[in-house]
Amino acid sequence: MQRIVIIGSGQGGQQAAASLRQEGFSGEILMLGEEPGLPYQRPPLSKAYMANGDAGALLLKPAAFYERSAIMLRDGVRVTAIDRAARAVLTGDGARHAYDHLILATGARNARPPIPGLDAPGVVGLRSLADAERIRRRLAATRQAVVVGGGFIGLEFAAMARAAGVGVTVVEATPRLMARAVSPEMAAHFLDLHRAMGTELLLGVQAAGVLTGAAGHAAGVALADGREVAGDLVLMATGVRPNAELAEAAGLACANGILVDATLATADPAISALGDVAAFPGPLGAPLRLESVQAAVDHARHVARRLVHGDGRPYAAVPWFWSDQGKAKLQIAGLLSGADHSLALPQPDAAPVVLLFRQGRLAAVETVNAPGIHMAARRLIGAPQDSLRAHGYDLRAAVKAVSAA
Amino acid sequence: MKITFVAADGTRTQVQAREGDSVMHTAVQNDVDGIIGECGGSMMCATCHCYVDDGWTEAVGGQEEGESDLLDCAASEVRPTSRLSCQIRMRAELDGIVIHLPESQL
Ligand SMILES: Cc1cc2nc3c(=O)[nH]c(=O)nc-3n(C[C@H](O)[C@H](O)[C@H](O)COP(=O)(O)OP(=O)(O)OC[C@H]3O[C@@H](n4cnc5c(N)ncnc54)[C@H](O)[C@@H]3O)c2cc1C
Ligand code: FES
């Protein structure tokens, strides 16, 4: 293999390039990324960056890394088509790049719900550094913000905005916060936390449109039940859609993401996909798409091992995720989907530890500000419930027992 | 202020650090091999494991809560001087600190 082309220079694309070199790949690596500049981390965009505005601190690696690793990065370049027959990609600037292997790491973009007014000035999304810069500039002059969507990014932003003295209303269509990704017990805990921060949270009600005021600027959000919420900044945080169109146009199978097998290869052996855009076989059999640093990084390492050493093992890394909301660091190990039983262990003066089980085995664990329990949980995913009960559900004790055995 | 990193093979690299930045962050931004910092300092990965030089352990101070549980998951041997470098923030007393890097982080 002479030349590997990576589309997308985000968390997963960058890791793929780095891991290929770590594993000893000596051919050419070309990374084509639509965003300007060096690959950076997105998680701080809704966290520390909102407070400190330090864009330099976001870089995954400095420029020197790409030079010494002979990783060619073309930034500000959009790939417009994949010519699978000729094994080449076409870019917006008219260039054509041949590949022996192609890695699709195109990530995801913000979803746009079908409601009027989203183009009004003052309506923002948060996915890229450019988005975050725009929001930070506006935030200084904002008195009241409306967040549409009570998921991780909306709530992280809400906490940062409150800390900056901005009034915040969160509008969430489902009856609870972070409904797709956390247990009802943990969602209830975070509802209390955000209320205590002074955020107004409206649950179970849809946004019907953006209200505009003077000169067409956003002035708030109209709700489906007829109420109106005022705000001069409207953050749309209603989830993402995978950037799979390029693959789809090239005839690769897609269904909520680019479908890959357990080794993260598409049906075309010369093309792999990873990160937010990849739908891979999950533990329940159905295709699974994760939106996390862990998945992007572990996928990338997995693909690199396959390409360099021919390692054909199935991908099976334990998922983990975090979200910082105010002083609360939520950490999740494992996957909630398919859980049939949960156990909320109250902790003195702190958030509960929530254990979720699927068919008698540990499927996921949610903790807040308890990194030790989280790390133990990561090693116990899949353990039978009985073995944990035997330790009074003290996960750290259970891990010690396992490693001693 | 400055930090000297000593790789497992003995190679020394001195870099400039900013007050308030973590040792992990300083290493990553200066392209020092041997510290990964996958979780960006969120105490979730233990890929920022380091050994504080014996002469500096007192100035650095003890571990943060939960740190030892993470270090249990570190790839290389844990020693009494082991720390998560994302939890060490640079301040005047740490100017010139020497940090030893483990064999591997994964
Ligand atoms: C505000 C925010 C906060 C987050 N917080 C957390 C967190 O706390 N914890 C966590 O685990 N995860 C978090 N995430 C998610 C995490 O950042 C993503 O899961 C991760 O970035 C996915 O990596 P990726 O490489 O798949 O996609 P991305 O990082 O999105 O990179 C994809 C890149 O591909 C480029 N691209 C797309 N199409 C083309 C094309 N045709 N040609 C060229 N380039 C193209 C895009 O412009 C983009 O730069 C957060 C995300 C956001 C936005
Ligand atoms: S950077 Fe992840 S624990 Fe320190």
Give a three-class secondary structure readout of A89-125: EEECCCCEEECCEEEECCCEEECCCCCCCCCCCCEEC
- What is the per-residue pLDDT for B36? 95
Nearest to A375 among B25, B28, B72 (CB): B72
Please tell me if the CB atom of residue A79 comes closer than 6 angstroms to any atom of ligand 1. Answer: yes
Q: Domain spanning B2-100 has what CATH number?
A: 3.10.20.30
Exposure b/e, B51-78, CB count within 10 A at least 16 = b: bbeeebeeebeeeeebbebbbbbbebee
CA-nearest residue of chain A to B18?
A57
Q: Both tokens of residue B103?
A: 């064999």
Nearest to B69 among A56, A293, A396 (CB): A396
Positive or negative CA dihedral for A285, A289, A291, A295? positive
Can you tell me which atom of ligand 2 is nearest the CA of B86? 4
- What is the per-residue pLDDT for A257? 98
How far is Cα A404 from Cα A264, in angstroms, rounded to an integer?
34
Cα A108 to ligand 1 centroid, rounded to whole Å: 6
Q: Both tokens of residue A142?
A: 């904002």
Q: Which residue has the tokens 């594993």?
A: A23
- What is the per-residue pLDDT for B65? 82
Q: How close are the terminal C-alpha atoms of chain A, in Å?
A: 44
Inter-residue long-range contacts of B31-34, CB under 8 Å, 24+ positions, other chains counted:
B31/A61, B31/A62, B31/A64, B31/A65, B31/A68, B32/B5, B32/B101, B33/B7, B33/B101, B34/B5, B34/B7, B34/B8, B34/B101, B34/B102, B34/B105
Which residues' Cβ are closer than 6 Å to ligand 2? B 24, 37-39, 41, 43-48, 70, 84, 86
Please tell me if the CB atom of residue A291 comes closer than 6 angstroms to any atom of ligand 1. Answer: yes
What single letter denotes the amino acid at residue A331?
Answer: Q
Sequence-distant (≥ 6) Cβ neighbours of residue A17 within 8 angstroms: A6, A29, A31, A69, A71
Other beta carbons within 10 Å of A154: 25
With residues binned 3-state (H G I as helix, E B as strand, rest as coil), the percentages for chain A, rounded to 5, are 30, 30, 40
Cα Rg for chain A, rounded, in angstroms? 22
How far is Cα A34 from Cα A315, in angstroms, rounded to an integer?
28
Question: Identical fold at A3-109+240-309 and A123-236?
Answer: yes
User: Three-class SS of residue A145?
Assistant: strand
Using the beta-carbon criterion (under 8 Å), do B38 and A293 form an inter-chain contact? yes
Other beta carbons within 10 Å of A298: 24
Interface check B39 vs A, CB under 8 A? yes
Sequence-distant (≥ 6) Cβ neighbours of residue A165 within 8 angstroms: none
CA-nearest residue of chain B to A15?
B38
Q: Are A303 and A269 in contact (CB under 8 A)?
A: no
How far is Cα B39 from Cα B32, in angstroms, rounded to an integer?
17
Can you tell me which atom of ligand 1 is nearest the CA of A45? 1
ipTM for this prediction? 0.91
The shortest C-alpha distance from A297 to chain B (Å) reads: 8
Nearest to B31 among A43, A64, A331 (CB): A64
Ligand nearest to the CA of A155: 1
The shortest C-alpha distance from A7 to chain B (Å) reads: 21
Can you tell me which atom of ligand 1 is nearest the CA of A32? 43
Residues of A in contact with B43 (CB under 8 A): 329, 371
Interface check B28 vs A, CB under 8 A? yes
C-alpha closest to that of A252 among A235, A277, A223, A233 = A277
- What is the per-residue pLDDT for A127? 98
Q: Domain spanning A327-404 has what CATH number?
A: 3.30.390.30
Ligand nearest to the CA of B85: 2
Q: Are A10 and A105 in contact (CB under 8 A)?
A: yes
| Structural domain spans, chain B | 2-100
What single letter denotes the amino acid at residue A62?
Answer: P
- What is the per-residue pLDDT for A262? 98
Residues of A in contact with B105 (CB under 8 A): none
Using the beta-carbon criterion (under 8 Å), do A375 and B70 form an inter-chain contact? yes
Q: Are A356 and A368 in contact (CB under 8 A)?
A: no
If chain A, 405 residues long, is cut into consecutive pieces of 10 residues, what is the mean pLDDT of each piece?
Answer: 97 98 98 98 96 94 97 98 98 97 98 96 98 95 97 98 97 96 96 98 98 94 98 97 98 98 98 98 94 98 98 96 96 95 92 97 97 93 96 93 78
How far is Cα A63 from Cα A50, in angstroms, rounded to an integer?
24
Interface check B78 vs A, CB under 8 A? no
Using the beta-carbon criterion (under 8 Å), do A375 and B38 form an inter-chain contact? no
Q: Measure CA A332 to chain center.
A: 13
Nearest CA to ligand 2 atom 3: B43
Across the A:B interface, residue pairs with CB atoms under 8 Å apart total 55
Nearest to A372 among B28, B40, B69 (CB): B69
Any idea how long chain A is?
405
How far is Cα A33 from Cα A20, in angstroms, rounded to an integer?
17
| Structural domain spans, chain A | 3-109+240-309, 123-236, 327-404
- What is the per-residue pLDDT for A58? 95
Q: Both tokens of residue B62?
A: 């003890």
Using the beta-carbon criterion (under 8 Å), do B31 and A62 form an inter-chain contact? yes
Q: Are A331 and A367 in contact (CB under 8 A)?
A: yes
CA-nearest residue of chain B to A43?
B40
Q: Domain spanning A3-109+240-309 has what CATH number?
A: 3.50.50.60
Nearest to A320 among B44, B68, B69 (CB): B44
Each residue's pLDDT tens digit, B28-87: 999 999 999 999 998 999 999 999 999 999 999 988 888 988 998 899 999 999 999 999
**A123-236, superfamily in CATH?**
FAD/NAD(P)-binding domain (3.50.50.60)
- What is the per-residue pLDDT for A131? 98
How far is Cα A91 from Cα A317, in angstroms, rounded to an integer?
33
C-alpha closest to that of A323 among A203, A198, A189, A233 = A189
Q: Both tokens of residue A314?
A: 């199935």
